[in-house]
A and B are shown apart, each in its own frame.
Chain A
Amino acid sequence: MEKILLKNLGRPGFHTIDSCLVNGGYNGLTEAFKHAPESIIQMVKDSGLRGRGGAGFPTGLKWSFIPKDPTIQKYLCCNADEGEPGTFKDRGIMENDPHLLIEGMIIASYAIGASVSYIYIRGEFVFGTRRLEAAIKEAYEKGFLGKNILGSGFSHDMYIHRGFGAYICGEETALLESIEGYRGQPRKKPPFPALSGLYGKPTVINNVETLACVPAIIEKGPKWFSSIGPEKSPGPKIFCVSGHVKKPGLYELPLGTTMRDLIFDHCGGMLNEGRGLKAVIPGGVSAPMLNAHELDTPLDFDSLAAKGSMLGSGAVVVMDESTCMVKTALIINRFFSHESCGKCTPCRDGTPWLTNILKRIEYGNGRPGDVELLESLCTNIFGRTFCPLGDGAVMALRGALKNFRDEFQHHIDHKRCMVS
């Protein structure tokens, strides 16, 4: 498959606008200006593109919710907060092909009528920020940003907003709060951002990878895009593989590639020949892990949902037999309680409680009934939180408990680990 998103990966120097233009960069934009904004939205709808930020919401549909009234200020926000553990794809795009993102954002802004866009990039990505800053500057110089872009009559300004260490700011409404200068806690919905988002104005929030798909859809046509991968989850997808595999890294493959193919064909198999595969997290730590029997699951939105997990951000974390699942659960849960924003009761007070119990179990101080207590607390948190972060914490823990309950029990009963 021709690479769209990662074509520059491993090609130093290709991030500049000159090499970008030589390689067909901004052709999508030139093409886009030949169409009315409405038809751009229709093309994206037709392509079947679904959001790559986690929820898989149809992108064209999201754009179509934006009011058409031209007198209303509208915004586009690119979600480059990339905080889901295991995920590093957006960084890959921004560092290696910043113009692809910028082009996608200009097209998206043109489609929804946004005159200003912000890229919310996580604070730790200093290198990526510098690349983007330089690229935006280049884009202004070449007339792709600013007033009356390429004579189209469309004007647009693009700015970078740097996060500074808060996973929750990846949640779209928390992201808006953060840009506005408030603490990054989620807002209640409705009103949805499409009607009242940034500064109370209609706003689209899209993931980096989502936006990076847009130029190709416009240039090569929606049909081309929708022909890749399964019908309901079409298109190329970047998988971020990490953990116990030979060749971890970013892989751009059609959605629907099976886990087995990804790990054993593309990534060269398990890191240590002697150790078999124990579990895989298929879509970032919020996604419940799958066990070794489920390796043939295709990696796409619907197939994973059918298995009780999710594609999420496409972060595939591979764990071999030497991995202690109690420890894994603890590390993941600690992450969520560390990142809980503090707004709602079950997440704020529930996740640290879970962490404390897991800590106890891990350090050999588990008590009889702890597994049941964990499960009961999960029930009490799940579906009752303000935003999906708390749910993510529960799903992750439930995944571990479902597949490896014995290991937890062993820790409690024997005050030590089963695997090491």
Chain B
Amino acid sequence: MSTVKINGKEVTVKDGTLILDAARDAGFEIPTFCYQADLMGVGSCRMCLVEIEGQKKLQPSCITPVLHGMSIHTETPTVMSARASMLEFLLANHALDCPVCDKGGECELQDMVYKYGPHKGRHAEPKFKFQEKDYVLSPVIIKNSNRCVQCMKCVRVCGEVVGANVLGALGRGDHQEETSFLRSFLDCDQDGNCIEVCPVGCFMRLPYRYKTRPWDLKGKDTVCPYCATGCRMVIEERDGIVIRAKAQLGVGLNSETLCARGRFGFDFINSPERLTKPLVKRFGTLEPASWEEALGVIKDNFIAAGKNIGGIASARLTDEELYLFQKLFRSMLGSPNIDSSARWAPEAVEGFIKATGMDEGGASAFDCMESDTVLITGTHLSDENPVTDYIVRRISAGRAMNLVIASPRAMKLDSSASQIVRHNAAAEGHLLDAVTLSVYGGNVDKLRDVPGINRIKDARQDDLAGKAGCSADDIKAIARKLTGEGSVGLFAGTEFLRYPGSIPGLALLKNALKALGKKVTIIPVLDRANQRGAWEMGVHPGFGPGYSPVKERGMGCADMLEAASSGELQALYVVQSDIVAMHPDENFVRGALSGLKFLVVQDCFMSETARLANVVLPASSFAEKDGILTNQEGRAQIIRKLLPPPVKAKRDIDIIRAVGETFDRSFGPKNPVLVLDEIRKEVGMYGEVSLAFNNKRNVDNKLDLKEALVKPAGLAEGLNASGLETKLEPKTDEHPFLLATGNHLFHSGRLSRKSPTLIGLLKNAIVEISAEDASALGLMNGDKVRIKGRYYEAYATLHTRSGSKGGVAFIAENYDDVPVNRFFRRGEGVPRVSITKA
């Protein structure tokens, strides 16, 4: 600890604390431009100069650590004049076109000049102009370099945090311009973090341009509705139209960052295609109806169905809604048939929960990154959970650690890795088994009794490595890192759910490492904002809220569909889930649904599933409700209502309750707050979770608030993780590529398809294969290709990625022009396809 005096006030801080942080903690404000806690310090803008007794020159407080005994002054006349003079210099070459600048009203330069600046201009020289007109840098970014203050945050965030490195500084001196290669159109993540960090109106949102002034906007705190990273953000509206989503420095685990989906994908809320009134099918067509009528029809049909009813609720709903949904089924309708996903088998979910230890309570991604060795497996983190990728990149750059990335497909984060392993698609399990076997080899005594070890202990390393498609050296190197000094962190993603045969491998590795006395922190990497919440609220056929055992095991989505086909299941209530689009094997779903007597779909849009419904209920988006979401780490976070639901649409919680009330007027609780109270009472994991962390900066400036993590449930004994297997179609010369699915950087689920901005970034389907495979086939990036499987063929644009494993073709699950689930057949395993020039 060091004790220093700041403006006479004595403070004691950790050694190496920056003067800036020490002063801010002590309550003294120091203005900054180039400083940002999570970027490497550069000390270039000179706004933060302070006086240190005994030193002739003023020192930049943002890069100067305190030394014990220092006496620092932050408000002397010299310091104040230095601040004013820096602002004067910045203004000297600043465009001063505030009236037409999008940043006007929330511009850091404006604010600072107001506070510290010279109030008289002395600069009367011609200004250097970078360009006459703003220029478009990307579909979402427009640039005006004449306003730049050269803090370089855009370039730094692009390199250090996003890892894209597509911005740079061209030229030097006052001609230095932060822009793209030859100022050309950017091919990047389009996440707009450069916009977010820009203190002035230099990088601007293209979709927001000239729409409004910041003071006309009303905003609410929320959480991004796309992946399960759980980024906090503020969404803002004007006249009922949501205009902007933005992250805030120091708030949420994401701080100032968001990905393209989060920052630009909110505009589906404003879509004219939103459902605004209930629809009831009459003589084959869906027609507008009143709520009373719709609810009446539902009641009649639900009564008719009796217990032969099932429910599927989207993993995007709030915890309160999901809780009430399962309560509706379990205690009102008396049916155990509920699920939150059309994609994953219930046993896979149970196995995954057990393997990743979700029942043991939340685990922070920051803690995981504190491990000495971190292994990322089963996820294309860079595309699927971009902000988790940022966190990993940022932390791994700042400390000595091993970062191992195992994935068939190359990803942006690879550049941060100390080891990259390319294994066969769907072979995560073989890879992990091989690693465990290698670990076992050197620790037979300690691992003899690890449950599941018998499964592999007599296997041959070469066989496992061969199945995984990697070299024995790769395997050994991972094993060496995992068993070396220190703790282990794992990021395990949705491939484990997609290929459940891999789950035992994950569980075994975890158990083996624990048996060696290692601290193991696992983060499940999920792709729906409240997937974890859905499970923890018990929207699953095999367990209840808080992973509690259920009296009667119900059917999961696939079983329900099966039962529907056979006429056994009569009614289905689907909330915001487009199972036709999402379930592997579209034909099967369509067939099954047509076998139902009654289908209710509650959604914001007329989804493929809704078209088949007897009753369609207009639901709400995340912007129209209050509630909490639980992210993949198990962090419970609040979202707040910004707008009322459109026209006659209702909040999902109100709809679910209304359905319940048709049976029993007392069904409830009656509002989200009371539901949360009940959750806290009934679900131990949530009892003491702090929801304080809401768009306020954390007290200690840390992004990681552990009190928001759910507590251990200790109830998972009942989880059924048996019978997990991955089925793959055998490889043939005719169909050489295994078809891998997942999310695209700009799209996840089907919601993003309703966002004009995201559609603008990527409209039509692309198929991705490795650059090596492409050149072997004589194909080039951008070619139109035909993808042919046994049951389906489609056309898409080819995207090549260098460094990916051969033999994998990836198509995201999100395109309406290429519904990838048409390639699948129920019961036949992951399909293989051929790719040829169209």
A–B in direct contact per CB < 8 Å: yes
Chain A residues proximal to chain B, CB less than 8 Å = 166, 168, 183, 188, 337-346, 348-353, 356-357, 360, 373, 380, 383-386
Contact A345 B173 (CB under 8 A): no
B58, B90, B173: the one contacting A342 at CB < 8 Å is B173
Q: What separation, in Å, do the CA atoms of A168 and B172 have in the docked complex?
A: 11
Contact sample, A vs B, 25 pairs, CB 8 Å cutoff: A168-B172, A188-B63, A337-B173, A338-B173, A342-B169, A342-B171, A342-B172, A344-B46, A345-B44, A345-B45, A345-B46, A345-B47, A348-B174, A349-B90, A349-B93, A349-B174, A352-B174, A353-B89, A353-B92, A380-B82, A384-B58, A384-B85, A385-B46, A386-B43, A386-B44
Q: Given A346-B85, A383-B57, are A166 and B172 also a contact pair (CB < 8 Å)?
A: yes
Q: What mask results when residues 148 to 162 of chain B are scored 1 for a CB within 8 Å of chain A, else 0?
A: 011000000000000
**Are the CB atoms of A346 and B172 closer together than 8 Å?**
no
B294 within 8 A of A: no
A342 touches B174 (CB 8 A): yes
Q: Is the CB of B86 within 8 A of A352?
A: no
Interface mask (B340-361 → A, CB under 8 Å = 1, otherwise 0): 0000000000000000000000
Q: Cα distance A351–B174 when bound, in Å?
A: 9
A348 to B63, CA, bound (A): 20
**Are A345's CB and B150's CB within 8 A?**
yes
CB distance from B670 to the nearest CB of A (A): 58
- For A386, the chain B residues whose CB sits under 8 A away are 43-44, 46
Size range of the interface on B?
35 or more
Interface set, chain B 37-81, CB cutoff 8 A to A? 41-47, 49, 56-58, 63, 81
B128 within 8 A of A: yes
Interface assignment of B129: CB less than 8 Å from any CB of chain A: no
Contact of B174 among A188, A337, A357 (CB under 8 A): A337
Contact B57 A384 (CB under 8 A): yes
What residues on B are CB-neighbors of A351 within 8 Å?
A: 173
Task: Specify which chain B residues have a CB less than 8 angstroms from the CB of A353 in the assembled complex.
Answer: 89, 92, 123, 125
Shortest CB–CB separation between residue B302 and chain A, in angstroms?
Answer: 67
Residue in B126, B149, B173 whose beta carbon sits within 8 Å of that of A340 in the complex? B173
**In the complex, what residue of chain A is closest to B46 when comparing beta carbons?**
A345
Whether B44 pairs with A373 at a CB distance below 8 angstroms is: no
Partner of B42 from the list A188, A342, A350, A356 (CB cut-off 8 Å) is A188
CB <8 Å contact, B172 and A340: yes
* Assembled-state Cα–Cα distance A346/B174 (Å): 11
CB of B176 closer than 8 Å to a CB of A: yes
Minimum CB–CB distance from A72 to chain B (whole Å) comes to 16
Q: How far is the CB of A367 from chain B (nearest CB, A)?
A: 8
Shortest distance between the CB of B124 and any CB in chain A (Å) = 8
Which B residues touch A346, using CB under 8 A?
46, 85-86, 89
What's the Cα separation between A337 and B58 when bound, in Å?
22
A124 to chain B, nearest CB (A): 17
Q: Which A residues lie within 8 Å of B175 (CB)?
A: 342
Q: Which residue of B lies closest to A390 (CB)?
A: B46
Please, which residues of chain B bring their CB within 8 A of the CB of A339?
A: 173
A357 touches B125 (CB 8 A): yes
Name the one of A183, A188, A350 contacting B89, with C-beta atoms under 8 angstroms: A350
Q: Distance (Å) between the CB of B156 and the closest chain A CB? A: 13
A339 to B128, CA, bound (A): 16
Q: Which residues of A contact B120 (CB under 8 A)?
A: none
Check B133 for interface membership: any CB of A closer than 8 A. no
For B128, the chain A residues whose CB sits under 8 A away are 352
Q: Can you name the residue of chain A whose Cβ is closest to the Cβ of B89?
A: A349
The distance in angstroms between the C-alpha atoms of A168 and B63, with both chains bound, is 21
CA distance A171 to B126 in the complex (A): 30
For the complex, give the distance between the alpha carbons of A337 and B174 in Å: 8
* A348 and B176 contacting across the interface, CB-CB below 8 Å: yes
CA distance A266 to B621 in the complex (A): 87
Residues of B close to A380: CB separation below 8 A: 81-82, 85, 88-89
Which of A343, A349, A384, A385 has a CB less than 8 Å from the CB of B92?
A349
> Per-position contact with A for B80-107: 1 when CB-CB < 8 Å, else 0?
0110011011101100000000000000
In the bound complex, CA of A183 to CA of B152 (Å): 13
Q: How far is the CA of A69 from the CA of B43 in the complex (A)?
A: 31
Give the shortest distance, in Å, between A387 (CB) and chain B (any CB).
10
- B282 interface hit (Cβ, 8 Å): no
Question: B665 in the interface, Cβ–Cβ < 8 Å?
Answer: no
Q: Could you say which residues of chain B place their CB within 8 Å of the CB of A348? A: 89, 150, 173-174, 176
* Inter-chain contacts of B88 with A (CB < 8 A): 380
A356 to B124, CA, bound (A): 9
Cα-based distance from A179 to B85 in the complex (angstroms): 34
Between B45, B57, B173, B176, the greatest number of chain A beta carbons within 10 A of the residue's beta carbon is seen for B173
Bits for B450-484, please: 1 = Cβ < 8 Å to A, else 0.
Answer: 00000000000000000000000000000000000
B469 to nearest A CB, angstroms? 35
Q: Which residue of B lies closest to A353 (CB)?
A: B92
CB distance from A164 to the nearest CB of B (A): 12
Task: State A111–B43 Cα separation when bound (angstroms).
Answer: 34
Q: Closest approach, in angstroms, between the C-beta of B174 and any C-beta of chain A?
A: 5
Q: Which residues of B lie under 8 Å from residue A360 when comparing CB positions?
A: 125
Task: For A337, list chain B residues within 8 Å (CB).
Answer: 173-174
Which residues of A are found within 8 Å of B176, using beta-carbon distances? 342, 348
Q: How far is the CA of A339 from the CA of B149 in the complex (A)?
A: 19
Minimal beta-carbon separation of A416 from chain B (angstroms): 21
Task: Give the Cβ gap from B551 to chain A, nearest Cβ, in Å.
Answer: 62
- Contacts of B58 on A, CB cut-off 8 Å? 383-384
Chain B residues, CB < 8 A from A352: 93, 128, 173-174
Cα A350 to Cα B86 with chains together (Å): 9
B119 within 8 A of A: no
B624 smallest CB distance to A (angstroms): 45
Q: How far is the CA of A351 from the CA of B125 in the complex (A)?
A: 13
- Of B45, B58, B128, the most chain A CB neighbours within 10 A belong to B45
At the interface, yes or no: B211 with Cβ under 8 Å from chain A?
no
Question: Does B399 have its Cβ within 8 Å of any Cβ on chain A?
Answer: no
User: 4 smallest A-B Cβ distances: which pairs?
Assistant: A342-B176, A380-B85, A356-B125, A349-B89
Smallest Cβ distance from A372 to chain B, in angstroms? 10
Q: Is the CB of B44 within 8 A of A344?
A: yes
Residues of A within 8 A of B49 (CB): 384
The A-contacting residues of B in range 499-536, CB under 8 angstroms, are: none
0 or 1 for each of B172-189: is its CB under 8 Å from A? (1 = yes): 111110000000000000
